[in-house]
Amino acid sequence: MPMYLRVQRGANVGASFELRPGANTIGRSPNNAIVLADDKVSGFHARVDVAPAGTEATLVDLESTNGTLLNEEPLRAPARLRPGDRIQVGNTTLRFGEGEEGEDESATTEVRVILEDDETILQMPVAWSPEATTQLVPRSARNIEADELRRLYGLLSALYRVTSVVARSISPEALFANVLEVLFDILPADHGSVLLVGPDGHDLRPVAGHCRSAREQTIRVSETIARDVLTGGRGVLARDATEDERFRRVASIHLYGIRSAMCVPIRSSRQVFGVLYLDTHSVDRRFTERDLELLTAVGSEVGLALENLRLAESSRQAERLAAIGQAVAGLSHYVKNILQSMEAARHLIPAAIAEDNHGELLEAWGTLDRSIELISELALNMLSYSKRPGAHYQACDLNALVRQVIELVRQRASEQGAWLEARLDEAMPQATLDPGALHCALLNLLTNAVDATGRGRVLVETQWVPTARRLEVRVTDSGPGVPPELRQRIFEAFFTTKGSRGTGLGLAVSRKLIEELGGSIAVESAPGHGATFTISLPQEPPAHGPAL
């Protein structure tokens, strides 16, 4: 029976990971089967061991710094997992499930939100919430009853939880899903949704929804209430909507049995982005003024976070455009240099033939031959760097593939006075990989190592890491090394340290191909002592796409 982990809370919220027979490690390192973007998670935090027949799964903590919780209890020994179990690592909560994914739980992104047109407006002022979140706390703590102190502590704790998940959200989708998850933990809501103002500044469009019951998949939001909140810029509360005169003409409130509802603006200091809506059908669970104050504070937090995310995206778009311009400029300069060499050789060859100068003829022909080789290399790398149709996975013997690449480069190494040495792990198992992509990436790495070494040794090693079910290939040269300030730039497209001898695409292509296989590539170097490039790959294709 298929098994999976679904992220219910955290930066990777909504992501699902299929659990395969054997060890499935969880952590921040890209060498894990399940990679989490959570700075409170250890590099290798925990492991889920699945029996060969897929009949049971066991959770193990890998001596992590912050520990692992299973159903809110510290995990002190390996424990068998059951459907519905909640695993907490760092700030991330995962839910264990069996069978077809999602058949027994509701997902925020799967809920349908319908905006109801009530064809009316509110006839009376509503209960507005305070403007400032500071009003959640009184100015003086003197003479406050114990119950009031406990209530204030609960509000501040709830707001702290919301602030924490907001800070960890890396996309608007994760932001909305995380916030709705927390709100359902701290408020008696049955339905929740986020609606944003459309590009035209008028239309409201649902972007996220959440139901407490897994059986409910539809949320209906009163457009009357939502637009009134947008217009006034303040929140509205209906303690008992069925008896409240202000909502007597709001059809959706009565038609769908909404007992209590709240709606607040999602806003920053400069803009209103939309509304955050909660309702409940239960007679025993009604919202209060303090709930409204808390939700208003949450709306402000979400608005500020959304503004920051949009500013960051605008900055990334500007950086992408600048990078494209820089890449085109670099490519144009590189091609121009090759064409100039070819043009010079084209003029020299007829003259050398006319003068019967075989030495000059061979030199010019060699220049032309090298230029054609560079153009061919550039074209192949650009094809590899552009969008590929997808990985072509098949059973692969990594050691045999490495030997093939070494033989291809051996002649080039011999011409430059370098020698190749291989240390291959005999315990290396079969893996499911894309041999063509890996061959291309390794060929680029090995060619670079030979060019950097000149006269010296190039060492190629493989290693099987059974605890993480990862395969590693290390290529070490004897060249001058990579300065610290260039260790990230060397993976940029069209950046080269070879001058006119390089295309600046080799390492960029290698990293792109490896990451498409769910792997990673890293460099370690000490100036004057060579460099080591390490490729790390999962033994099996990732079920959720490339590593984060």
CATH number, domain of 60, equals 2.60.200.20
Q: Which helix (H) or strand (E) holds 252?
A: helix 251-255
Please give the pLDDT value at position 37. 83
Nearest in space to 535 (alpha carbons), one of 448, 454, 460, 480:
460
CA distance 282 to 309: 36
Point out the domain boundary residue: 312, 347, 370.
Answer: 312
Are 288 and 162 found together in one domain? yes
Inter-residue contact 357 to 348 (CB < 8 Å):
no
Neighbours of 96 (CB within 10 A): 20
Q: Is residue 106 part of a domain?
A: no
Inter-residue contact 391 to 434 (CB < 8 Å):
yes
Please give the pLDDT value at position 350. 87
CA distance 111 to 125: 31
Nearest in space to 135 (alpha carbons), one of 157, 147, 152, 160:
152
Are 152 and 212 found together in one domain? yes
Point out the domain boundary residue: 288, 312, 336.
Answer: 312
Q: Is residue 231 part of a domain?
A: yes
- Total domains in the chain come to 3
Q: Is residue 342 part of a domain?
A: no
Q: Is residue 353 part of a domain?
A: no
Are 169 and 92 found together in one domain? no
Give CA separation, 226 vs 116, 289, 384, in Å.
Answer: 10, 18, 49
Cα 154 off chain centre by: 33
Q: Is residue 119 part of a domain?
A: yes
Range of the domain at 457: 389-547
Please give the pLDDT value at position 129. 38
Spatial neighbors of 316 by CB under 8 A, at least 6 apart, are none
Tokens 């973007």 sit on residue: 37
Q: What is the pTM of this model?
A: 0.45
CA distance 103 to 117: 32
Are 119 and 22 found together in one domain? no
Are 419 and 485 found together in one domain? yes
Q: Which helix (H) or strand (E) holds 98?
A: strand 92-98
Are 260 and 404 found together in one domain? no
Average pLDDT per block of 10 residues along the chain, 548 residues long: 80 78 90 86 92 88 90 90 88 79 42 56 34 44 58 69 72 84 84 87 84 75 83 82 51 57 88 90 77 88 87 72 58 63 80 85 80 66 55 87 88 86 93 86 87 88 92 92 77 59 66 86 85 91 51
Are 116 and 90 found together in one domain? no
- Both tokens of 421, joined, read 């040495």
Point out the domain boundary residue: 281, 312, 343.
Answer: 312
Q: Is residue 383 part of a domain?
A: no
Would you call 211 helix, strand, or coil by DSSP?
Answer: strand
DSSP-derived pairing of the beta strands 22-27 and 46-50:
antiparallel
CATH of the domain at 448: 3.30.565.10
Would you call 108 helix, strand, or coil by DSSP?
Answer: helix
Q: Is residue 318 part of a domain?
A: no
Are 86 and 196 found together in one domain? no
